[in-house]
Amino acid sequence: MKTERKKYSKQFKLEAISMFEDGERPMAEIERELDITTGLLAKWRTDFQRKNGKEVFPGNGKLPATEARIKELERENTILRQEKEILKKVLGMYSRESR
């Protein structure tokens, strides 16, 4: 039988990290108190530290604004490169015909 994954809000994750960093209780104790899977708090903390708190825990399938913009620009760049190659080929064909 399928069990549904629990989803935690960004605020919940940040408060859990704060509880660990501000207090003197072990991580396992905080995880038991919050009823979260063992090791999950460590993962959240690592993610938080890796991104320096910026745009961490973006949500379900939604990219942070900067990553969405990067993807959009990469897509646009790919299209422009393809158009440039097509224009080069067309120019090459016309230059051969005019000789």
pLDDT tens readout for residues 26-59:
999 999 999 999 999 999 999 999 888 677 886 6
Range of the domain at 14: 7-59
Does residue 2 form part of some domain?
no
Predicted TM-score (pTM) of the model is 0.56
Q: 67 and 39 in one domain?
A: no
Does residue 1 form part of some domain?
no
* Cα-based torsion angle of the residue sequence 54, 28, 32, 39 in order, rounded to the nearest 10 degrees: 50
Q: 82 and 50 in one domain?
A: no
Helix (H) or strand (E) holding 67: helix 65-97
Q: What is the pLDDT of residue 98?
A: 66
Q: What is the pLDDT of residue 99?
A: 64
Q: What is the pLDDT of residue 96?
A: 82
Separation of CA 56 from chain center: 8
Q: What is the pLDDT of residue 7?
A: 84
Selection from 3-7, 34-38, 50-54, 81-85 with the highest mean pLDDT: 81-85
